[in-house]
Amino acid sequence: MKQEEKSLKNTGFVLSPHTRRVRLAETSAKMALWIAAGITMGTLFLIVGYILVRGFVSDIRIQFEVLPEGSKVIANEGYADQGILVIVNRDIRLKDMTILEVTDLFSGELDNWGGISEQDIDVRVYAQNGSIRDLFERAVFLDETQFSEDTVFADSDRQVIESVSNTRGGIGFISETSAEYLNGSDAKPLEIRRISVAVNGEILRASNGMRLHYLTGEQIKDIFIGTYKNWSELGGADLPILPAVFSEDSLIRNEFEEILLDTDMRIHDVAEVVDSNDELAQFLARNLGSIGFAYYNDALMYEMHVVNIERRETELNLDAAFILEEPRRAGRVGGISTIILNTLFMIFLTLLLAGPIGVAAAVYLTEYARQNRINEILRFGTETLAGVPSIIFGLFGFILFVMYLDIGVGLFSGTLTITFMILPTIIRAAEEAIKSVPQSMRESSLALGATKWQTVTRVVVPAAIPGIMTGLILAIGRAVGETAALLFTMGSDYRLARDFLSSARVLSVHLYILVREGISFERAFATGTILIIIILLINFATNKLIGRMARMHG
Amino acid sequence: MKRRKLFEGAVERLLFVCAMVSILTIVFITIFIFRTGLPLFEEVSITEFLFSDRWRPTDDQDPGFGILAFIVASIFVTIGALVIGVPVGLASAIHLAELAGERSSRFFKSVVEILAGIPSVVYGFFGTVLLAPINRMLFGGTGFNILLASVILAIMILPTIISLSEVSIKSVPKELKAASLALGASHWQTIVRVILPAASSGIIAAVILGTGRAVGETMAVLMVAGNAPMMPEVVTSMVRTLTMSIAGDMGYAAGTHRTALFTTSIVLFVFVMALNVIIKIITRKGRVKA
Amino acid sequence: MQTKHKITVDKLNFFYGDFQALKDIDMNIEINKITALIGPSGCGKTTFLKTLNRMNDLIAGVRINGQILYEGIDIYNGNCDVIELRKKIGMVFQKPNPFPMSVYDNIAYGPRVHGIKNKKKLDEIVEKSIKRAALWDEVKDRLRKPALGLSGGQQQRLCIARVLAVEPEVVLMDEPTSALDPISTGKIEDLLDELKVNYTIVIVTHNMQQAGRISDTTAFFLNGVMLEAGPTDEIFYKPKNKRTEDYISGRFG
């Protein structure tokens, strides 16, 4: 009995110490493998996700010297019912403007909307004579500023509205009493941001490392309702905050409260009340830690220290307009329509050139070539070509096509260069596809009396189309992604290519230039997004094709 | 009948010409690059070119055409890419081949394919906008240095390493795995002692191919490596690789300067071709073994 | 009388996904005997063999009902460690599959994997195992040479030696001689006869004559069901089931 028990114990399948260690090693190793796989996947999602998100939505923070919001009606103190509306043509993509921009537009400093709304449209100023002109000048222009020379003066609000509606880049002003006439017209009023926040100078100066750079609208609100009591709470020096406000019935006070405060909030009782800009300026100068608000022009006039206010602008980055608009001003303004078209041209020409040659080569290698020396060399050539770095192709293309053959930098040189680069991809895929056409197909065709060429063109190649197309699509992907070689051979002119010899900028080159020159990161993201979307589409298409091929041969 | 024969013959010859395009291009490229680049050695000795780090092509008085700094930069950046990319890539490949289920394996493969298709300029862009600031924060300086270039290149060669390694691992005969498991080895022991050794030639080929890609990469490094034509000292040094020096100066270089760029490309070309030949040898050996 | 049965199979049902490959198998494998599993192609005998050392675990989507007891212990129980199980139950495959290593490393693989590092001990085990597999004279001078350089029959005996090096108690064999020439086959059959003294052997064979020659017990499988099992003589000369008789006499399969 004892012996039997012993043998049972031996085969207990209990983990021996060594097996335990082996199991442990295995678990940790497998965990490491999962982590590695996770890193790879995570990297892709990070890259694609980051670029796509910032490509579609631009979220930037800009600092202004005025509050982030304003009001549509510009009024002067003492002329409460004679408010002015600034109107622009509806084509202008803006909702608000700062008073500085209004001044620059009406005075002729800015003659193109590009700097403000990023649209390449010329500014057309429409003004009025009469009392409204005085009010406008008082509220908007500082001292010596004049209307621009090209300003067209109208006689009535209705005329201004009509002119602005009919002119793409039109801007004008009307009295608020005529607001109803805007309905149904092609003009719209803009919010004008003209209130600035001024502080005592000390706060802005560097003192023991604590220096205030800017405030946000939220912070300003909280200061004035009393939530913050000391500048150190905002990253500034250790000084108590002393807010100053205008009296409750003043226009500016009302505008300030309307813009910043919610209905149930009130300005802190401790705030000092001032009656004039002069008083405010003196209060700010004399009291450490003081803060107040005034119209921007007044702040300038009374030499108050205006603090920067950060505004966050979230808006669509890559949208239909971007794709359909032309780039202007070195790509700073506008979209990328011409560049997309140039890229399409390149794709088309490349396919025209590389497609037939690649497929023909593949046909030769699979259908006609015998197993001899020459054909081994041919094959060797294709494989080697695939390993050449793209910059060398660029050099080669540059020297041969641009210089030696004197075709110059342009579509043609670029296309020729790219053709050689992607040829191996096409040949390889076409070869695979043709090889996998069942031999029986060829035999039946020949048995029916067809010639070799007829068999190839009517039976074999058509059967291999999905595979060939996969190769072509992949090759296009490579071509679209290629930058260095194209920079030298196809050029960087972002206008639409006029003919085969025109220098033409394509998407990848555009992205590079935008980044290298620091022209516009928002546009760079949008361009990068388009490139990524192209890659995703290519991936999708080839997967579908491969799926179809698998089913066909299933 | 005769006409048909003539036609078929002509067709075959035409196709042959098309097939010749590849080999002709290679020959042409080689000839052109060597022809344009070799003349440099009439003015500059090979030793100076390869072993001096004094690169002053536009100095009229005493020009220097030493590309040692670029060679070293290319080497460092490539090694960095391999150090990061090979472990992650190989581990991912093992995971794909041995651990992943059907669904997740297909998903993972799509991910790898997309990574492979992303253009190098987009990688460079990504490095510039997201990784460079982080690098700057962690290590100071501009953020554009060997470290960043290595990280970006590592990501770029992952697909190559993963897909080729995975194929090699999968092509190890299943009977070997069965034999090992039947002897009581754990899955991991089987992978390490049987599968990986059997797949070694393919994996090495994958790594070498990845090396070739890293060495030949232009745009991404152009955007993130810092572009200082000096010998690298630390991992945070700004550098200029061979590809960067070619691409960077090509637009405006003239005379001897331009010739020197071609000579640089000879060095690059020879190196990459050598790698390709090594791969050929290894894969042929591997196949014969099986 | 429990200890006479090394392995007891109790109402075993096995599924590949929806397809049921084994139905209600009840069987006892006797210690130190050769049990042969015969039957036409696709009848489930190899599947059954692989359940004994849980090699079927490698396939996705398999399900198992019933019990397989190794000396009274359920091997499909969560407590049973597969690595330990396979140390006790070894397997030789249809096609010889030596590792692409030297002869020595092939044999030493098992012990090394189980933690034996001492060179002297490994040398001992290697020599002992190769001798037990009746291969020593042929390889003793080429231990460090690649195993793939051996002939087919030698490779298979190498695989047997490789299994023996782990010191199992049971050796499973999946048509071990079907890929070999008659002489090698004969050598291996003689070997099996020697081995059964120390090991319990279960062998799947397509070759009825082989089963008749070497086995003590035979089980006949048909369509996933074990129709009949018993002493080989009985099965071959006095089968109880008509279909067994048909198969034996060659009327099908």
> Chain B closest CA to A336's CA: distance in Å?
17
Q: Chain B residue closest to C168 (CA)? A: B183
**Contact status, residue A142 vs residue A66, Cβ threshold 8 Å:** no
Q: Which of A441, A442, A445, A395 is nearest to A420 (CA)?
A: A395
Tally of CB atoms within 10 A around A440:
9
Note the pLDDT tens digit of each residue in A161-201: 999 999 999 999 999 888 888 888 899 999 999 999 998 88
- What are the sequence ranges of the domains in chain C? 2-248
Which of C3, C72, C84 is opposite residue A16, by nearest beta carbon? Answer: C84
Rounded Cα distance between A20 and B190, Å, is: 16
Contacts with A396 from chain B: Cβ below 8 Å:
28-29, 32-33
User: CATH code for A195-316?
Assistant: 3.40.190.10
Q: What are phi and psi of C196, to 5 degrees?
A: -65, -15
Element of type H or E holding C173: strand C170-174
Give the distance from CA B37 to its chain's centroid: 22
Contacts of A489 (CB under 8 A, 6+ apart): A394, A397, A398, A401, A402, A409, A413, A414, A416, A417
B225 in contact with chain A, both atoms CB, cutoff 8 A: no
Strands of C217-222's sheet, edge to edge? C89-92, C170-174, C200-204, C34-38, C217-222, C225-231
For residues A87-104, one letter each, b for 16 or more C-beta atoms within 10 angstroms of the residue's C-beta and e for the rest, the string is bbbeebeeebbbbbbbbb
3-state secondary structure of C37: strand
Contacts of A349 (CB under 8 A, 6+ apart): A411, A412, A415, A500
Fold of the A73-193 domain: D-Maltodextrin-Binding Protein; domain 2 (3.40.190)
Q: Chain A residue closest to B92 (CA)? A: A37
Q: Work out how many CB contacts closer than 8 A connect B with C.
A: 64
> Chain C closest CA to A18's CA: distance in Å?
6
Q: SS3 string of chain B? A: CHHHHHHHHHHHHHHHHHHHHHHHHHHHHHHHHHHHHCCHHHHCCHHHHHHCCCEECCCCCCCEECCHHHHHHHHHHHHHHHHHHHHHHHHHHHHHHHHCCHHHHHHHHHHHHHHHHCCHHHHHHHHHHHHHHHHHHHHCCCCCCHHHHHHHHHHHHHHHHHHHHHHHHHCCCHHHHHHHHHCCCCHHHHHHHHHHHHHHHHHHHHHHHHHHHHHHCCHHHHHHCECCCCCCCCCCCCECCHHHHHHHHHCCCCHHHHHHHHHHHHHHHHHHHHHHHHHHHHHHHHHHHC
Contacts with C5 from chain A: Cβ below 8 Å:
none
C170 in contact with chain B, both atoms CB, cutoff 8 A: no
Write down the residue that tokens 């490509």 correspond to.
A55
Q: What are phi and psi of C102, to 5 degrees?
A: -75, 165
At residue B112, what is the residue type? V
Query: Residue C251 has what pLDDT?
Result: 65
**Contact status, residue A385 vs residue A470, Cβ threshold 8 Å:** no
Rounded Cα distance between B20 and A66, Å, is: 69
Note the pLDDT tens digit of each residue in C216-249: 999 999 888 988 888 998 888 888 888 888 888 8
**B218 to A389: CB separation less than 8 angstroms, yes or no:** yes
Mean pLDDT of chain C: 89
C169 in contact with chain A, both atoms CB, cutoff 8 A: yes
Query: Residue A4 has what pLDDT?
Result: 40
User: Alpha helix (H) ranges present in A319-460?
Assistant: 320-324, 337-363, 373-386, 390-397, 411-435, 439-447, 452-455
**B247 to A477: CB separation less than 8 angstroms, yes or no:** no
Query: Residue A5 has what pLDDT?
Result: 37
**A516 to B223: CB separation less than 8 angstroms, yes or no:** yes
Query: Residue A6 has what pLDDT?
Result: 37
3-state secondary structure of A491: coil
Instruction: Give every residue of chain A whose pLDDT is below 50, as ranges.
Output: 1-11
> Chain B closest CA to A33's CA: distance in Å?
5
3-state secondary structure of A323: helix
Element of type H or E holding C21: strand C19-30
Contacts with A394 from chain B: Cβ below 8 Å:
247, 250
> Chain B closest CA to A521's CA: distance in Å?
9
**Contact status, residue A260 vs residue A224, Cβ threshold 8 Å:** yes
Please report how the helices B2-37 and B255-289 are oriented relative to each other, as an axis angle in degrees rounded to 10.
120
Q: Please report the residues numbered 199 through 238 in chain C whose beta carbons come closer than 8 angstroms to any beta carbon of chain B.
A: none
Q: What are phi and psi of A52, to 5 degrees?
A: -65, -45
Contacts of A134 (CB under 8 A, 6+ apart): none
C209 in contact with chain A, both atoms CB, cutoff 8 A: no
**A378 to B23: CB separation less than 8 angstroms, yes or no:** yes
A156-163 long-range Cβ contacts below 8 angstroms, 24+ apart: A156/A128, A157/A128, A157/A181, A159/A128, A160/A87, A160/A126, A160/A127, A160/A128, A161/A87, A161/A185, A161/A187, A163/A124, A163/A126
Which of A54, A396, A487 is opposite residue B29, by nearest beta carbon? Answer: A396
Mean pLDDT of chain A: 87
The class level of CATH for A322-553 reads: mainly alpha
Rounded Cα distance between C21 and C2, Å, is: 28
Test mutation, A20, A34, A44, A532, chain B, max B CBs within 10 A: A44
Which of C60, C95, C110 is opposite residue B175, by nearest beta carbon? Answer: C95
Contacts with C71 from chain A: Cβ below 8 Å:
7-8, 11
Q: Which of A471, A510, A217 is nearest to A354 (CA)?
A: A471
Which pair of structure tokens corresponds to residue B153? 């290149």
User: CATH code for B71-289?
Assistant: 1.10.3720.10
> Does residue C214 register a pLDDT over 70?
yes
Q: For residue C11, what is the DSSP state?
A: E
CB burial class (10 A; 0-12, 13-18, 19+) of residue A425? buried
Query: Residue A47 has what pLDDT?
Result: 95
Which of B183, B185, B193 is opposite residue C163, by nearest beta carbon? Answer: B183
Rounded Cα distance between A41 and A74, Å, is: 55
Could you check whether A73-193 and A195-316 share the same CATH topology? yes
**Tens digit of each residue's pLDDT, chain B (290 residues):** 778 888 888 888 888 888 888 888 989 899 988 998 898 888 888 888 889 888 888 888 888 888 899 999 999 999 999 999 999 999 999 999 999 888 999 999 999 999 999 999 999 999 999 999 999 999 988 889 999 999 999 999 999 999 999 999 999 999 999 999 999 999 999 999 999 999 998 999 999 999 999 999 999 999 999 888 888 888 888 999 999 999 988 878 888 888 899 999 999 999 999 998 888 888 777 655 44
> Chain A closest CA to B60's CA: distance in Å?
25
- What are the sequence ranges of the domains in chain A? 17-59, 73-193, 195-316, 322-553
- What are the sequence ranges of the domains in chain B? 2-56, 71-289
Which of A40, A508, A524 is opposite residue B92, by nearest beta carbon? Answer: A40
A447 in contact with chain C, both atoms CB, cutoff 8 A: no
**B219 to A512: CB separation less than 8 angstroms, yes or no:** yes
> Chain A closest CA to B219's CA: distance in Å?
6
Which of B182, B185, B289 is opposite residue C90, by nearest beta carbon? Answer: B182
Note the pLDDT tens digit of each residue in C40-49: 888 889 999 9
Query: Residue C2 has what pLDDT?
Result: 45
Task: Return the ∠ at Cα A508 (arms to A389 and A397), rounded to 5°.
Answer: 45
Query: Residue C253 has what pLDDT?
Result: 52
The class level of CATH for C2-248 reads: alpha beta
**Contact status, residue A40 vs residue B154, Cβ threshold 8 Å:** no
Test mutation, A7, A11, A13, chain C, max C CBs within 10 A: A13
Contacts with A382 from chain B: Cβ below 8 Å:
22-23
Which pair of structure tokens corresponds to residue C180? 């070999």
Rounded Cα distance between B252 and B264, Å, is: 16
Rounded Cα distance between A437 and B70, Å, is: 48
Which of B101, B185, B197 is opposite residue C113, by nearest beta carbon? Answer: B185
β-pair type (A195-199, A305-306)? antiparallel
**Contact status, residue C227 vs residue C218, Cβ threshold 8 Å:** no
**C55 to B176: CB separation less than 8 angstroms, yes or no:** no
Percent of chain C, pLDDT > 70? 97
**A44 to B87: CB separation less than 8 angstroms, yes or no:** no
Which pair of structure tokens corresponds to residue A373? 């020396």
Question: What is the distance between the terminal CA atoms of chain A, rounded to a whole angstrom?
Answer: 62
> Chain A closest CA to C187's CA: distance in Å?
31
